[in-house]
Each structure stands twice: as C-alpha cells, then as structure tokens.
Structure 1
Amino acid sequence: MIADRLASMAALIRPKVSLAVAAGSLFGALYHGHLHGGVQMGAAFTAAAGAFLLCGGCSALNQVQERGRDARMARTRERPLASGRMTPGRGALRAGLFGGAGLLLFFLAGGWPVLLAGLAVVAVYNGLYTPLKTVSPTALLAGGVAGAAPPLTGWLAAGGPVLDPHILGVTAIFYLWQVPHFWLLAEKHRADYIRAGFAVLGPGLDPKLRAGLMGVWVAAYFTALGCFAGLAGPASLRAFVPPVLLLAGAAAAWLAASDHPRPALAAMHCSLPLGLATLLLATT
C-alpha cells in the first residue's frame, strides 16, 4: 500500500523532470556566484529545492487539468488521475501543497523577485500553456517561457539583476532548447497526441516540410549554445567545445529534418550540460 502511494506520488510530481528543473535553478545561482566572486550556497540550494517542489506542483496541477486527455494516451494513461487511482480533489490538494511549499522556499531564498518569478511560471505553464495545447501547437512557444525560467530563479536568489546579459543569454538558450525538445517529443508520440485531442505541429503540412522546420529550430539552438560557449568559455576550451557543439548541432538538425526524433533528442539532452559546464569553467 505504501509502495503504491509512493509510486502514485512519483507519477504525480515526475521527479526526473523536477530534478532537472532544480538543477537549472542551482546552475543559475552557481553561475552568478562564479561571475561575482562567491556562491551563497544556502540561497542556492533553497532556490533549487523550491524549484523542485514548484515543478512537482505544476505537474500535479497539469495532471488534474488534463486527466481526461491523459486517459486516452498510452504514455500517460497509467498516471494516478488518468487511471482513477487518485481523485481530482486529492490531486489538486497535493498540487497546492507542493506548489505552495515551492513558492515559500523561493521567497526565503531571494524574497519577492524569486517569488514573483515562481508565480509567473505557474501562470504561464498552467494558466496559458496547458489550455492552449488543445488549440494550437504554437502553445509550446508559451510553454518554453516557463521551461526557460529555472536558471533565472537561481540567479535572482543569488542577488543577480534580472536584465543582466549573462543570465539573459542562458535563459535564451534554455528557451531554444525547450521548444524543439517538446516538438520532437510530440512527433515521437504523434498518434497519442492526436488521439487525446492535442494540437500537433502542422497536420496539414507535408511531413518533410514539418521535419525541416524542426531541423531549423534544432540548428538555431545548437548555434546559440556553441556561440555562447565560445564567447563566455575559457580560452583553453574555445578551440574544442564550440566546434563540437556546432558539429553535433549539424548532425542533430539533419536527424530532425530527416524525421529521426530519437537520436536528435539524445543529442539535445547531452549538449546542454556540456555547454553549461563550459560557462562555469570560464569563471572559476
């Protein structure tokens, strides 16, 4: 019984996704600390914990909102709300508890700027992106804004200004990563998404043109990441990391344009940590 409840809770908050969001927030705090001569570890880890909990809360609320559609999809029909193992009321209560705890930690980590950033994430992800998913595939352009926020929350918790070009560059890279990542994921599960009533990219478009558009966006992400790593990275790695990222980007863009989403997704997953690690090495 306890194991089943823990499994349901894990499915509700999606710990892998929440941990990735927490890592993004922690990176933002570390990046600010390296650039400005010291890391406030208490604030950094408090913000990261807040990001984990807030992401779990947003995930739970999303599953409350989409429980009927999740039940029609093979990849999500075993989620606790979609399968009926958890009532919408309990799901909403858990979403409020996780989300509220995350927002409280955000406030403790950096005051009102971080709290407002967290509230903006909820408004965009659950208030805008989730309902728009059934209307247009361009909803991902809004969802990418929420997905780009984690490093900004850590940066703000460390005392950094919101308009600093360093963190704006990082959030832009996160945004460019988010959109093709979810579009490629949607392509991988296209039949599932259509069955559930979600809008998918260009059902009326020629498949080759649709794949080509994805390839262009993937190329834009890798180009931005490679250039940023080259400009901000240490001189000892500038001859190595940017070319590797650009070559990997060319391969990933070709795979995406050739309608091979799995290896393109794998390349994107591997590239972001490499590029971010380069930024931290540049400032130590």
Structure 2
Amino acid sequence: METTSTQSGSVKFFTDTLKDYYELTKPGITLSVVASMLIGFIMGSAGSLNYVLMFHALLGTYLIAAGTSAHNMFMERGLDGLMHRTSSRPLPDSRISSQNGFIFSTVLIFAGLAYLLAMVNVVAGIVSLATTIIYLFAYTPLKRISALNVFVGAVPGALPVVGGWAAASGTVLEHGMWILFGIVFCWQVPHVVAIAWVCKKDYEHAGFKMLPKNDRKGIKAAIWVILPMLILFPTVYKLFVMDLVSWIYLSGSLLSTAAFLYYGLKFAIQRDISTAKGVMFSSFAYLPLIWIFIFLDWIIL
C-alpha cells in the first residue's frame, strides 16, 4: 500500500509540475498568437496553401510565443505576487523556482527562433524575434513608467499576423499583411484599456501604469477606447477593397465592429466598472470573430 501511495504521489507531483510549466506559457495568449499567425499565413498564401510549411510555422511560433510569455512571467514575478489576480501563478507562488523559470522560457524562445529560421524562412524568424524583443524589453518595463505602454504593447500583439504572412510569402512588403496588423493593433488598445480599468486597483498596487495620468473621470481612457474602434471600420473594410476577402467577411466584420463600438460607447458615456467589463468581454469575442469570418471566407470561396 505504501508503494502504491508513493507512486500515486509521484505521478501527481509530475502532472502538477507539468501543469505549472504549461501555465507559465500563458496558454490563452499563446494560442491567440498562434491563431493570428495562422490567419496571416492563410492570407499570405494567396490561395495556394503549403500544409507542411504551415505546420512548421505553427510549431515554431508556438515555441517562441510560449517562451516569450513565460519569460514575461519570470520578469514580472515579484510584481505578480502583489496582485490578487496573479499572486497564485507558479513563480510568485514558488511552485517553480526563478532559475527554472528563466531556463525554461529562454530555451523555448531560442528553440522557437531556431526552428523558424531553419524550417520556415529568415523573414518569419526575424519578425518573431522582433515581437519577443519589443514585448519583453520595451512593453514590459514601460508598464511601470507610462500608460503609453498600451500602444507599444499593441505592436508585438499585432506582429504575429505579419509573421504568418511572412512565413507563407517570405516578405513583409505586401500591403495586405499590414492591414491585418492594423486590425489587431486597433483591437488591442481598447482591449487592454478595458482590462486595466476593471483591474485598476490591482495594477496600481503593483505599480503598473496602465491608464492615463490625471484622468479621474476617465475621459482620456474613453478616447483611447473609442478612437481605435472607429479606425477599425475603414481598416476591416480595406481588406474587401483590396479584393482579399468577400462579402462573407465584410458583412460579419462590420457587424462585429459595430457591436464592439456599441460597448465602447456605453463605456464612454458611463465610464464605470460595469461598462468596462462590457468592452473587455466584447473584446474577447471580437478578434476571434474576425478570424472566423476570414477563415469561413477562405473555406467557402
């Protein structure tokens, strides 16, 4: 019985450790990066999809994105311990040591970069490396300095679609990829501002400056939410004008953008936690819906 109990305990320890390392990669964010890369790859393939190359791009992107997220957790482990919503993460909770977190994240980053360079192309590798560098060494430290980090952070957030297009085409000079970049960039700004508003006390306690200074009434935050949403309308429409998508995408994307703006306007009027949550939850749905409409467009037509 003791042997069986010991084996059971060992198995549980192993599975719990795996779960902790998996949590370190921020699975939701990492899968969102991979999904964006995939859409960029599909759009950049111009109707001729190379499934083997797509697999390599997916795997390489997953590795470097997971490593980047894990390294962000390593860099912010002390600050995460100060916030209620992040204090139970593996590093601040000491379920994974700082040294192991550093090694794990660094190995993933370099493994993903090497894989992309070897199995996809140099351009895709450079885009992914730029994404990692901006995220870790510009956005992450800027979060404690200025609310402008929201705009800086939107750059690496939007680069995965460029990386996907580059993986398929070998270039970053095509107009369509930067329209996709613009869609993700304009989506991410209100998305982050809404989360910052909902988690305002937590962020302030940790010393993060996620919202504008001297904005007690939330006027600046409302502008940051509404303006990118308005820019989304001509941006999503531009893909249709360029004949890269059909009416399936156009109708779905415009309706989704209108719904997103509706929640943004409610926040701009009331500027409270309830309406900020409306923007936050609608932002969770918005980008996946845009990708679904592009994917449906590609499948059907």
Change (3 A) 1:197 1:280: same
* 1:256 aligns to 2:270 (yes or no): no
- The CA deviation at 1:44 is 1.4
Counterpart residue identity of residue 263, structure 1: G
- The CA deviation at 1:110 is 2.5
Indicate the residue corresponding to 2:280 in structure 1.
265
Of the candidates 196, 199, 207, which is equivalent to residue 186 of structure 1? 196
Point out the more displaced range, 252-261 or 12-21: 252-261
Identity percentage over the alignment?
26
Change (3 A) 1:69 1:235: closer
Of the candidates 121, 126, 139, which is equivalent to residue 131 of structure 2? 121
- The CA deviation at 1:217 is 3.3
Indicate the residue corresponding to 2:111 in structure 1.
101
Indicate the residue corresponding to 1:154 in structure 2.
164
Counterpart residue identity of residue 21, structure 2: M
- Number of residues paired by the alignment? 281
Of the candidates 13, 28, 31, which is equivalent to residue 16 of structure 1? 28
What is the distance in 1 between the residues matched to 2:249 and 2:62? 32
Counterpart residue identity of residue 264, structure 2: A
Query: Is contact 2:257-2:286 (8 Å) kept?
Result: no
Query: Is contact 1:230-1:241 (8 Å) kept?
Result: no
* 1:247 aligns to 2:262 (yes or no): no
What is the distance in 2 between the residues matched to 1:243 and 1:16? 25
What is the distance in 2 between the residues matched to 1:176 and 1:246? 11
Of the candidates 98, 101, 110, which is equivalent to residue 88 of structure 1? 98
- The CA deviation at 1:65 is 1.1
What is the distance in 2 between the residues matched to 1:203 and 1:123? 27
- The CA deviation at 1:225 is 4.9
Change (3 A) 1:230 1:208: same
Could you list the structure 1 runs, at least 4 aligned residues long, displaced by more than 6 angstroms after superposition: none
Query: Is contact 1:229-1:275 (8 Å) kept?
Result: no
Counterpart residue identity of residue 32, structure 1: G
The within-5 A match list for 1:130-279 is: 130-220=140-230, 222-228=232-238, 230-231=240-241, 232-235=244-247, 238=250, 240-257=251-268, 258-259=270-271, 260-279=275-294
Q: What does the per-residue CA deviation read over 1:124-179, in whole Å, with 9 as the maximum and x for residues that have no partner?
A: 01111111110001112111111111111111111242021111100111111122
What is the distance in 1 between the residues matched to 2:135 and 2:218? 30
Counterpart residue identity of residue 267, structure 2: A
- The CA deviation at 1:237 is 6.0
Indicate the residue corresponding to 2:88 in structure 1.
78
Query: Is contact 2:193-2:225 (8 Å) kept?
Result: no
TM-score by length of 2: 0.86
- The CA deviation at 1:203 is 4.2
Q: Secondary structure at the match of 2:91?
A: helix
Gaps of 5+ in 1: none
Counterpart residue identity of residue 290, structure 2: G
- The CA deviation at 1:233 is 3.2
Query: Is contact 2:179-2:235 (8 Å) kept?
Result: no
Q: What does the per-residue CA deviation read over 1:214-264, in whole Å, with 9 as the maximum and x for residues that have no partner?
A: 3323523542454235434314664x3354134213312213313312221
Change (3 A) 1:200 1:270: closer
Indicate the residue corresponding to 2:8 in structure 1.
none
Change (3 A) 1:65 1:255: same
Counterpart residue identity of residue 152, structure 2: A
Q: What does the per-residue CA deviation read over 1:63-85, in whole Å, with 9 as the maximum and x for residues that have no partner?
A: 11111111000111111111122
Indicate the residue corresponding to 2:53 in structure 1.
43
Query: Is contact 1:135-1:198 (8 Å) kept?
Result: yes
Q: Secondary structure at the match of 1:137?
A: coil
What is the distance in 2 between the residues matched to 1:261 and 1:10? 29
Gaps of 5+ in 2: 1-12
Change (3 A) 1:182 1:109: farther
Indicate the residue corresponding to 1:111 in structure 2.
121
Query: Is contact 2:248-2:297 (8 Å) kept?
Result: no
What is the distance in 1 between the residues matched to 2:225 and 2:261? 9
- The CA deviation at 1:199 is 0.9
Q: Secondary structure at the match of 1:158?
A: helix
